Structures are given as C-alpha cells and as structure tokens.
Amino acid sequence: MSEDWTVPAWTIVSALVVMLLVVGALAVATVRGRRRALRDRAAAQAEAEALRTQVAEIERRLDTAVATAPVTAPADDTDYVITRIGEPAALSTPVPAVAAPLFADLVLRESVVQAASLVSGLRRALAPEARHRIRFEMKREVKRSRKQRRADLKEARREREARQRAGLDTEDPAA
C-alpha cells in the first residue's frame, strides 16, 4: 500500500473500532438495565403479595372483632340536618306558574330588547364619526411606525459605519 492509502485506511479502522466499542457499551447497558428491571419487578411482586396477605389478616381480625363486639347505641342521638329536602312542608309549597300567553309575552319582550340593543350598538359602531376616528388612528399609527422604522434604520447604519471605521482603524496600524 502506498502512503496515500494508509491515512484513510487507519481513519476507517479507528472509526469502526469506536463504533464497535459504542455498540458494545450500549449492549452491556441494555442487558444491565433489563436485569435491574426484572429484579425490581420480582421485588414489587413479592411486596404486593406480602401486602395482600397482610390485608387478608386485617380483614379476618376485623370480621372476628365485629362478630364478638357488643352492639352499643351512640352516645348522642342528635341528628344534624342542613337541608329541608324530604320534609313534608317543603313538598307542599306550590310552585308559581306563569300562564302561556304571559310567558310568550315575556320571551318576546326580552328578544325585542336584545335585538334593539344589538342594532343600536351596530349603528353606533358603524357611524361615520366612529369610522373616521378609526381611520385617523390607523393613519397616525402607520406614520408613527414608519418614523420608528426609519430611525431604527439610521441607527443601524450609524452603528455599522462606526464598526467599519473601527475595523479599518485597527487594520491600518497592523499593516
């Protein structure tokens, strides 16, 4: 082999060795991770089984304790109620009913009021004064943004020219 082919061949061989080392390291890490996962799973299953037996023992003790305990009445028979649901007085009060013509009249009036307010708002929003005011504000904002853009552009040009002058000043003494 000539000297021209030696450098690329060693480069390829070293790259392959590095790749093999990386693949080997990944395989070892995967095997270790799988073993750790299996070990953790077995420990979790054993712990779950221990907890199941413990719960079963507690249930068995409670069943025997309830069966042998004497029945006693609570010390305080006061019944605290915060609602009146289910009482006969609450059920006997009549619910006020609205007659059908009155109901239709109320619905119609409410609809007419809502429609009138909508029309009034649209009329006010589309009035010539409002449109002219909006147009004036838009023109003023466009002028302001153009002015700001021009000022930003001038400032950027000044900074660029200052950097170029500083660059030229530093190059002249070095030459």
**64-74 per-position pLDDT tens digit:** 887 787 666 65
Q: How confident is the model at residue 84 (pLDDT cuts 50, 70, 90)?
A: confident
Q: Residue 173: pLDDT above 60?
A: no
60, containing H or E segment: helix 3-68
Which stretch of 47-51, 58-62, 65-69 has the lowest confidence by average pLDDT? 65-69
Q: Residue 92: pLDDT above 90?
A: no
What size, in residues, is the chain? 175
- SS3 at position 81: coil
Residue 108 and residue 101 in contact, taking contact as beta carbons nearer than 8 Å: no
Distance CA(130)–CA(108), nearest Å, equals: 31
Distance CA(113)–CA(119), nearest Å, equals: 10
Q: Residue 144: pLDDT above 60?
A: yes
Domain boundaries, the chain: 1-68, 102-174
What is the pLDDT at residue 160?
95
What is the pLDDT at residue 175?
45
Instruction: Name the residue among 164, 145, 141 with its Cα closest to residue 153.
Output: 145
User: What is the rounded average pLDDT of the residues 16-31?
Assistant: 95
What is the pLDDT at residue 71?
64
User: What is the rounded average pLDDT of the residues 110-131?
Assistant: 92
Between 32 and 10, whose confidence is greater? Answer: 32
- SS3 at position 7: helix
Q: Which residue type does 7 have?
A: V
User: What is the phi/psi pair of residue 42, to 5°?
Assistant: -65, -40
The pTM of the full predicted model, rounded to 2 decimals, is: 0.32
Q: Residue 6: pLDDT above 60?
A: no
Q: Residue 62: pLDDT above 70?
A: yes
